Amino acid sequence: MAHPVARFSSKNLKFSLALTTSSQTYPICPQCAHRLPSVYTRQFTTTRRRNAGAGVVQSIPNIDSKLPKHVSMKSQMKKANRQQIGTDLGKLPQTFILPAAKDLPGWMSPNFFKRTRIHWLQFKTAVKDWWSLVVFLKWDVKRDPLTGKKMRRSMELSQRNQIARDLHKDFHDALSEGDLKRLQTICCEGLMAQARMRIEQRKALRRRKEPWVLLSYSGIRYPAWLERWPISVLLPAASTRVVSDRLAPLPFADTYLRQCIVRINSVQNYLLADSDKDVMLKHTDYVVIQKMTVKGEEGPWKIWGLTEPSTMKEVDGLLAGKGQEATTLAERIRDKVAGIAGL
What pLDDT is stored for residue 19 in this prediction? 40
Indicate whether 94 and 30 sit together in one domain: no
For residue 62, is it within any domain? no
For residue 266, is it within any domain? yes
What pLDDT is stored for residue 335 in this prediction? 57
Q: How many Cβ atoms are within 10 Å of 343's Cβ, its own excluded?
A: 12
Number of domains into which the chain is organized: 2
Pair 251, 333: CB distance under 8 Å: yes
What pLDDT is stored for residue 280 in this prediction? 95
Indicate whether 106 and 33 sit together in one domain: no
Indicate whether 131 and 35 sit together in one domain: no
What pLDDT is stored for residue 246 in this prediction? 94
For residue 63, is it within any domain? no
For residue 193, is it within any domain? yes
pTM: 0.71
Indicate whether 165 and 263 sit together in one domain: yes
Pair 87, 303: CB distance under 8 Å: no
Range of the domain at 25: 1-42
What pLDDT is stored for residue 37 in this prediction? 47
Indicate whether 190 and 267 sit together in one domain: yes
pLDDT in tens, the chain (343 residues): 444 544 444 444 444 444 444 445 445 555 554 444 443 343 333 344 444 444 444 444 443 434 444 444 344 445 555 556 677 888 888 899 999 988 898 888 778 899 999 999 999 999 999 998 988 888 877 887 788 888 888 899 989 999 999 999 999 999 999 999 999 999 999 999 999 999 999 988 888 899 999 999 999 988 888 888 888 888 999 999 999 999 988 877 788 899 999 999 999 999 998 888 999 999 999 999 999 988 888 899 999 999 999 999 999 999 887 655 545 555 656 555 444 444 4
